[in-house]
Structure 1
Amino acid sequence: MPLALYLLAMAVFAMGTSEFMLAGLLPDIASDLDVTVGTAGTLTSAFAMGMIVGAPLMAVLARNWPARSSLLGFVLVFLASHAMGAATSNFPVLFATRVVAALANAGFLAVAMTTAAALVLPDKRGRALAVLLSGTTVATIAGVPGGAVLGTLLGWRATFWAVAALCLPAAIGVLTGIPARPVEADESEGPTLRAELAQLKSPRLLLVMLLGASVNAATFASFTFLAPVVTDTAGLGELWVSVALVLFGVGSFVGVTAAGRLSDQRPGLVLAVGGPLLLIGWLALALLADKPVALLALVFAQGALSFALGSTLITRVLYEAAGAPTMAGSYATAALNVGAALGPLIAATTLRSTVGDLGPLWTSGLLVTVALLIAFPLRTVVADGRSTEVLQ
């Protein structure tokens, strides 16, 4: 894989750390800015919504810019928004910086996905995407726990400054590692915006976007509310929450890496095997969450299966949107973040039900079930790299 892919992954690591780090910082932010924890929690929603809206919007704005200029601009805006957020004492300003950061993140990821696919041979897109998404999985392993520790020792502002600092080497990497492309070449050789948007009429593209969003919704439904399962249901100390999150992150890295070697040539194998296993895993986790050893083992397994299946489906989005070379990444990014936003919202409605803290786990199982029920009868609709059968 080209070095440029790993430089892009470095930026994705910084952005992934920012996206997930608020879970451990909300009480400190609420106290410092004199708002409730619930109000501080809207910062997470602001980021998610910014990602959903920002992916197609930023891709449209940047579609006629050279890839290097677009990526560098998004990284610098992301850096500036975190510096401003770290310096402010006003909650509305902090809220606004999270929206701006999400727009920059979405734009970067949309362009980066398209760029990653263009840097390799057509039959290597899955592996390229796996390298890119490894930045997110490493963020869950190291960035988020590290940010939580830094926030505990030095305050939430230090974590924001640290993310801003991470953007500096990422910006240098983009500037030196991504080849420049003239704007004129993009304008003359590429399809029109209308033609690229018309790709959204493709049933196969819409199907894989829907399945990708469903699997990601299942992932974030449980990931968001994992802490009370660890401390209350399993009866473990708060330190074990970080352990569980790291295990989930390690599993996700393993899953993305493994799927990256299969998602180009054998996506059907990943989906046919990984889908049912993912469903069984969520159900097993809901039933065995009170047993610490089983809980931790299943958290690792679900991280691996969720990201293996999710990254394979997102790779399929890039293949199905091949006729939209500048917008395909935004379609994939939007699908991911629709799931990331809806999953926790659906799961939150179950917390006051009779199943309590286990509600999100059952929700994840239900979401995967729905995805499998949709995918199975339509398995011949989604094309893989060599045939028209995905689950065959």
Structure 2
Amino acid sequence: MISKAAVPALMWCVFAITTGEFVIAGILPDVARDLAVSVPAAGLLVTAYAIGMIAGGPVLTALTARYPRKPLILVLLGIAAAGNLASALAPAYPVLFAARVVTALVTSTFFANAVVIAVSAAAPGRQASTVSRLVLGMNLAMILGAPIGTFLGAGQGWRAPFLAIAACCAIGLLLVGRLVPDVREATPATSAVAELRVFRRGDVLLAIAVTAVANAGLLMVFTFFAPLVTEVTGFAAGAVAVLLLVYGVGAVAGNVAGGRLADRAPMRSQLGLLAALAAALPATWALSGSPAATAVMVFVLGALGFSVIPGMQARVLSSAAAAPTLAMAVNASAYQLAAAFAAWLGGRVIDGGLGLRALYLVAAAVTVAGIGVSAYAWTRDRARTTEPATPLQEGSK
């Protein structure tokens, strides 16, 4: 059992590392201008980070599975701090690109180990709400870290946010070293082979598939958020940042509520929340001509979209109890793949002549597919009478 202060310490670290992922979007023009590259080339820094998480995260997690978790996350935090410091000091675009890739490589592995450590301290039936506290670190990175980093970059130059993030990671090192005890007995190290063996289990693969499919619809809307609210609804460009804040506040509220609901009835709440999201998307389509109604629906979409994440993460942990760390890293990669697919499909919808507004309806259809995958997973759970039920599964019945 770890101390109550350990989870907030880990949440701070998640906030710091995730801010490093998000902040680049707000300073891209400054990076491009200072390093004498085009804005599209600077945009590849975002792609590089995603690729690092998708491909590198699971590989690094498997290779480090045999190491004790606390020393491992301290090393990962140190790499994150060094990667952001290297980004701040990068003399040329290739150096910045390499620093972003290195930083991305440790992100999924750190988050996976942090979740496993935090859940080891959770009381029975409180796994999902514990996960939601770490996800809250991501929410805060979105609604506080990225805007503050953008503001800092505007006033002090694009290198300043990376210096600040490196300092936050260094603070995280001190917090983890002081507040997170060694948890070798509660979360024993495994091996790469043992971690990979867990993917023979159909329920693990199904849990990860739920993450990929069920999140793709909303991610499509989020990818094209700015043109949707400006070109379809008619908001001024300056209102986009405010609406993103509204979305982020909704995400925080939904994350907290979703974690509590998932503790009580994981699959029932997941299906219900996904159904509400599938209904909210066409409602947003219908109301998209009204700025006031759209602002309300932005909050609703943020809340519903993030309400399902704690339960999905907890389900992966429950399904992959023998090797949870790699499963969590692969689950994070599945989320990134969902984002990549959402961007591709959204682009096809727009280029196909259906227009921006149709994204809401296509996103609803994709979410319905996510409901189908989730319902199939629940049916399999209920049909498995020969295996002992986990606390999460018992709560779903």
- What TM-score results when the alignment is normalised by the length of structure 2? 0.91
Kindly tell me: are residues 124 and 386 of structure 1, through their superposed partners in 2, closer, same or farther at Cα, counting changes over 3 Å? closer
Q: Counterparts of 1:347-386 in structure 2 under 5 Å?
A: 347-382=346-381, 385-386=390-391
**Aligned counterparts of 1:28 and 1:350: Cα–Cα separation in 2:** 31
1:144 is aligned to 146
Moved over 4 A (4+): 189-192, 383-392
Q: 1:121 to 1:335 in 2, by over 3 A?
A: farther
Which region of structure 1 is more displaced relative to structure 2, 327-336 or 109-118?
Answer: 327-336
CA drift at 1:391 = 6.9
The corresponding residue for 1:278 is: 277
Alignment of 1:88-237 (within 5 A): 88-181=90-183, 192-237=191-236
SS at match of 1:317: helix
Structure 1's 332 and 279: CA in aligned 2 closer, same or farther, altered over 3 A?
same
In 1, the alpha carbon distance for the partners of 2:392 and 2:169 equals 41
Question: Contact 1:218/1:367 (CA < 8 Å) preserved in 2?
Answer: yes
Q: Would the aligned equivalents of 2:215 and 2:367 in 1 still touch at CA under 8 Å? A: no
Moved more, 136-145 or 50-59: 50-59
Work out the percentage of aligned pairs sharing the same amino acid: 32
Question: Is the 2:271–2:374 contact (alpha carbons within 8 Å) kept by the matching residues of 1?
Answer: no
Mark the CA change 1:20 to 1:313 in structure 2 (over 3 Å): closer, same or farther: same
**TM-superposed deviation, 1:48:** 0.9
Q: Is the 8 A contact 1:347 1:359 kept in 2?
A: no
| One-letter code aligned to 1:71 | I
CA distance in 2, matches of 1:128, 1:92: 39
Of 16, 23, 27, which aligns to 2:25? 23
Q: 331-340 or 379-388, which moves further after superposition?
A: 379-388
Residue 262 (structure 1) aligns with: 261
Q: Report how far residue 304 of structure 1 moved.
A: 0.9
Distance 2:341 2:40 in 1: 18
Aligned length: 389
Residues 48, 340 of structure 1: 8 Å contact kept: no
CA RMSD of aligned residues (A): 2.3
- In the TM superposition, what are the counterparts of 1:290-369 in structure 2 within 5 Å? 290-369=289-368
SS in 2 for 1:45: helix
Distance 1:22 1:355, change over 3 A: farther
Q: What code does the residue aligned with 1:159 have?
A: P
Q: Does 1:83 align with 2:85?
A: yes
Q: Could you say if the C-alpha distance between residues 171 and 111 of structure 1 is closer, same or farther in structure 2, counting changes exceeding 3 Å?
A: same
CA 1:44–1:330: 2 relative to 1, 3 Å: same
**Change beyond 3 A, Cα 1:156–1:387:** closer
Deviation of residue 307 (structure 1)? 0.9
- The alpha carbon displacement at 1:209 in A equals 0.7
Alpha-carbon separation, structure 1, partners of 2:358 and 2:394 = 35
Pairwise CA distance, 1:222: 1.7
Q: Secondary structure at the match of 2:20?
A: helix
Change beyond 3 A, Cα 1:356–1:23: farther
Contact 1:82-1:160 within 8 A present in 2 as well: yes
Distance in 2 separating the partners of 1:360 and 1:85: 35
What is the rounded CA distance, in whole Å, between the counterparts of 2:180 and 2:45 in structure 1? 32
Return the offset for 1:388: 5.5
| TM-score normalized by the length of structure 1 | 0.92
| In 2, Cα distance between equivalents of 1:124 and 1:149 | 37
Deviation at 1:360, TM superposition (A): 4.1
AA aligned to 1:239 is G
Moved more, 136-145 or 222-231: 222-231
Whole-angstrom distance in 2 between the partners of 1:148 and 1:56 = 30
Task: Determine the structure 1 residue equivalent to 2:386.
Answer: none
Distance 1:100 1:330 in 2: 16
Matched residues in 2 for 1:207 and 1:390: separation? Answer: 19
Uncovered stretches (5+) of structure 1, i.e. residues with no partner: none
CA distance in 1, matches of 2:42, 2:204: 36
The answer for unaligned runs of 5 or more in structure 2 is 383-388
